[in-house]
């Protein structure tokens, strides 16, 4: 078995954690943040025998930057392809969408799996998990990771029905077309009176939407938002808000994720 390349995107560290664990379990494996490529680069992956995509589910499908990236990826022959999604638990159409992109190169996924992880979406009234609940989830995804890694190492096909979804979304493939068109439309954001003007939200934003104006963050309406929630969840003052939706809710980032790791996804790749 040759080298494994894992292309990842993360807003708050859940997907990065899965990618990190894969690297440890698989061995000869390189993690590459998709944001380290600029939009015009044509990417070739010569040399890898396994290629994986790791990403969160947003609104039942792929994050916008991951969709764009896969469209730009030129994949050589005889490569084993896998996709690992992290989500809170809804059914989704991300794997179908990836396959419809790969079809243009006569390829399809060999393995797909979704890990149920804590929610990073403060729009809804999510309850912070207790330590016991977090531990139980962790134990579950660790077991799943071990079994997934074995399959990747043996290049086994694994495209079973999504049995771990805890909420079925009806007509998910139809929804995908509707939602993907509004996937990068900006949400109405502001910083409340707790904002100390530290600029972390500006630095962590993967789509570079946020601007600091007179010491306060501004989210221009005409700039793209990937909806990753990093600006909301990494604000230590809980001052970043989506109007009328997040003011009374908690925040979440993966316990091992640092803001520097999220920011460094944007560092240009030296090849
Ligand atoms: C805007 C938004 C939409 C989301 N939509 C879904 C969804 O449709 N289904 C789901 O199961 N999880 C959904 N989630 C939860 C995330 O997929 C989940 O928490 C993920 O593990 C976050 O990964 P990250 O920490 O790598 O960014 C959504 C999160 C956000 C911020």
39 confidence band (pLDDT: 50, 70, 90)? confident
Q: With a 6 A CB cut-off, is 122 part of the ligand 1 pocket? A: no
Residue 59 alpha carbon, nearest atom of ligand 1: 8
CA separation, residue 171 to residues 86, 92, 117, 174, 177 (Å): 20, 10, 23, 5, 11
Which protein residue has the closest C-alpha to ligand 1 atom 30? 121
What are the pLDDT digits (tens) for 164-183?
A: 999 899 888 888 777 766 65
Region 122-128: what's the mean pLDDT?
78
Instruction: State residue 182's pLDDT score.
Output: 61
CA 18 to chain centre: 10
* 121 Cα–ligand 1 center, Å: 6
Q: Within the chain, what is the greatest distance between any pair of CA atoms?
A: 55
Instruction: State residue 70's pLDDT score.
Output: 96
Instruction: State residue 185's pLDDT score.
Output: 62
Residue 10 alpha carbon, nearest atom of ligand 1: 26
> Does 40 have pLDDT greater than 90?
no
* 226 Cα–ligand 1 center, Å: 12
> Does 148 have pLDDT greater than 80?
yes
Residue 17 alpha carbon, nearest atom of ligand 1: 26
Lowest average pLDDT, out of 55-59, 75-79, 101-105, goes to 75-79
Instruction: State residue 77's pLDDT score.
Output: 86
124 confidence band (pLDDT: 50, 70, 90)? confident
> Does 271 have pLDDT greater than 80?
no
Question: Which residue, chain included where needed, has tokens 């990753």?
Answer: 228
Lowest average pLDDT, out of 28-32, 166-170, 185-189, 217-221, goes to 185-189
> Does 42 have pLDDT greater than 90?
no
* 15 Cα–ligand 1 center, Å: 10
Region 64-77: what's the mean pLDDT?
93
Lowest average pLDDT, out of 14-18, 60-64, 184-188, goes to 184-188
**Of the residues 88, 231, 262, which should be mutated to test ligand 1's pocket, given the most ligand atoms within 8 Å of the CB?**
88
Q: With a 6 A CB cut-off, is 184 part of the ligand 1 pocket? A: no
26 confidence band (pLDDT: 50, 70, 90)? very high
Q: With a 6 A CB cut-off, is 56 part of the ligand 1 pocket? A: yes
Whether 210 and 231 have beta carbons less than 8 Å apart is answered as: yes
Region 91-96: what's the mean pLDDT?
96
* 77 Cα–ligand 1 center, Å: 32
Report which of residues 269 and 251 the model is more confident about.
Answer: 251
Mean pLDDT taken over the chain: 93
> Does 127 have pLDDT greater than 80?
no
CA separation, residue 62 to residues 119, 200, 212, 240, 252 (Å): 16, 25, 29, 24, 20
Region 48-65: what's the mean pLDDT?
95
> Does 184 have pLDDT greater than 60?
no
Region 43-65: what's the mean pLDDT?
93
Q: With a 6 A CB cut-off, is 229 part of the ligand 1 pocket? A: yes
* 57 Cα–ligand 1 center, Å: 5
> Does 13 have pLDDT greater than 80?
yes
Tokens of 123: 């729009």
3-state helix, strand, coil in the chain (%, to 5): 30, 20, 50
| CATH of region 3-178, choose from 3.40.50.360, 3.40.50.2000, 3.40.50.720, 3.30.420.10 | 3.40.50.360
């Amino acid at each position: 078995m040759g080298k494994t390349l894992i292309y990842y995107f993360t807003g708050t560290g859940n997907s990065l954690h899965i990618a990190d664990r894969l690297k440890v379990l698989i061995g000869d494996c390189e993690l590459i943040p998709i944001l380290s490529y600029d939009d015009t680069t044509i990417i070739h992956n010569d040399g890898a025998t396994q290629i994986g995509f790791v990403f969160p589910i947003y609104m039942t499908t792929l994050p916008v930057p991951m969709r764009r990236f896969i469209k730009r990826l030129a994949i050589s022959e005889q490569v084993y392809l896998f996709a690992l999604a992290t989500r809170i638990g809804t059914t989704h159409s991300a794997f179908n969408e990836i396959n419809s992109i790969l079809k243009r190169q006569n390829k399809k996924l060999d393995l797909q799996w979704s890990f149920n992880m804590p929610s990073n979406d403060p729009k809804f009234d999510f309850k912070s998990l207790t330590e016991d609940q977090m531990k139980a989830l962790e134990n579950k995804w660790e077991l799943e990771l071990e079994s997934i890694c074995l399959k990747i190492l043996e290049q086994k096909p694994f495209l079973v029905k999504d049995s771990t979804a805890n909420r079925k979304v009806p007509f998910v493939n139809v929804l995908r077309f509707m939602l993907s068109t509004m996937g990068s439309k900006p949400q109405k954001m502001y910083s409340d009176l707790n904002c100390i003007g530290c600029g972390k939200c500006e630095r962590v934003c993967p789509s570079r939407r946020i601007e600091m104006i007179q010491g306060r963050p501004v989210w221009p309406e005409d700039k793209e938002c990937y909806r990753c929630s990093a600006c909301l969840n990494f604000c230590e003052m809980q001052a970043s808000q989506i109007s009328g939706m997040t003011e009374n809710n908690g925040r979440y980032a993966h316990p091992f994720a640092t803001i520097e790791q999220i920011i460094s996804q944007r560092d240009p790749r030296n090849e």
